[in-house]
Amino acid sequence: MSTIYLNGKLMPIEEACISVLDRGFIFGDGVYEVIPVYSSKPFRLDNHLLRLQHSLDGIRLNNPNSNEQWRQLLAQLIENNDGDDQSVYLHITRGVAKRDHAFPENIEPTVFMMSSPLLAPPKALFTTGISAITAVDNRWIRCDIKAISLLPNVLLRQEAIDVGAVETVLIRDGFLTEASASNIFIVKNNVLLAPPKNHLMLPGITYDVILELAAENNISHEVRDISEAELRNADEVLLTSSTKEVMAITRLDDIQVGDGKPGSMFKQLHQLYQHCKATIMRGNSASS
């Protein structure tokens, strides 16, 4: 049975209750984070906490905890759940109040954390890659905020599932933004290309790790706008997220990407990412 954290207490998930008037439930008025934990150590926690602060600032909600408090709460949650590799979901809403769009005064935010086992993506996917579709990015223009109101992302992801694909790659005004729950890179002529971080995409923690690994390992890379035509003519298309790590998209809209197999850039980055994870498992500072 999994142990969760809710408003100051650890408890079995079955015992956790929140009010139907919680603004997260009523309005989707809240933000969240997903933090991968390897060998009981949160990966890139400082970066996740920085992004959490950015999201909270974006919705004008005070951070209920200091970074040190978050660190301690996370450690307790990890300790009280099974497995060394976990995926911690952290969620803060504006709290419980009579339904009214305007911010209520003097209420406490709802703070919720849960953990699930973090399963490495199936090995077969590294040899076959995954298929994705494209869709128009019809979300709002503050996609840099990790908001819990994910209805557009849910609907966009389902479009992929409906046709047997795994992810939906998003295009806004002729340019690649990201995907429904991951960031997207392309490769052309051995150059790794990434769309720039702005208000139209979530600044992925894995996205940053990939660009750092590229810089440290002399992999040619550029951060710049990527047109839909470039996406469709890419030699490789890569997806990144904290839970999926790096994956190769080998079919896009049912058309083969490059030669239809995970390419050499994917293989190199996948290996470097595994090495980066292994380093933190040995207690290196990459965990912070």
Position 204 contacts ligand PMP (CB under 6 A): yes
HSE toward the beta carbon, residue 108, CA cutoff 13 A: 9
182 lines the binding site for ligand PMP (CB under 6 A): yes
Among the residues of the chain, which ranges form H helices?
Answer: 23-27, 45-58, 67-79, 124-128, 151-162, 205-216, 228-232, 264-281
Within residues 10-69, the interface with ligand PMP by CB under 6 A covers 34
Contact between 181 and 148 under an 8 Å Cβ cutoff? The reply is no
Q: Shortest distance, CB of residue 184 to ligand PMP, whole angstroms?
A: 9
User: Could you say whether residue 147 binds ligand PMP (CB under 6 A)?
Assistant: no
> With binding defined as CB under 6 A, does residue 206 bind ligand PMP?
yes
- Choose which of 240, 246, 265, 277 interacts with ligand PMP (CB under 6 A): 240
- For ligand PMP, the binding residue among 131, 168, 242, 250 (CB under 6 A) is 242
Identify which of residues 208 and 253 has a Cβ nearer to ligand PMP in the complex. Answer: 208
Taking CB under 6 A as the binding criterion, the range among 3-11, 63-71, 200-208, 247-255 that sits at the site for ligand PMP is: 200-208
Q: By CB under 6 A, tell whether 181 contacts ligand PMP.
A: yes
Unique residue bearing structure tokens 């500072």: 285
Q: Which residues contact 123 (CB under 8 A, 6 or more apart)?
A: none
Residue from 178, 186, 258, 286 in contact with ligand PMP (CB under 6 A): 178
134 binds ligand PMP (CB under 6 A): no
Please report which helix (H) or strand (E) contains residue 35, including its range: strand 30-38
Scan for tokens 């009280």, then name that residue: 80
Q: DSSP 3-state helix, strand, coil percentages of the chain (rounded to 5)?
A: 30, 30, 40
DSSP 82-117: SSSSEEEEEEEE--B-SS-SSPPSS-PPEEEEEEEE
Question: Is 146 marked active-site?
Answer: yes
Nearer CB in complex with ligand PMP: 133/205 = 205
Minimum distance of ligand PMP from residue 216's CB (angstroms)? 18
User: Closest distance between ligand PMP and the C-beta of residue 35, in Å?
Assistant: 9
Residue 183 makes contact with ligand PMP by CB under 6 A:
yes
- Catalytic choice (146, 188, 244, 267): 146
Q: What spatial distance separates the first Cα and last Cα of the chain, rounded to whole Å?
A: 29
CB of 239 closer than 8 Å to CB of 132? yes
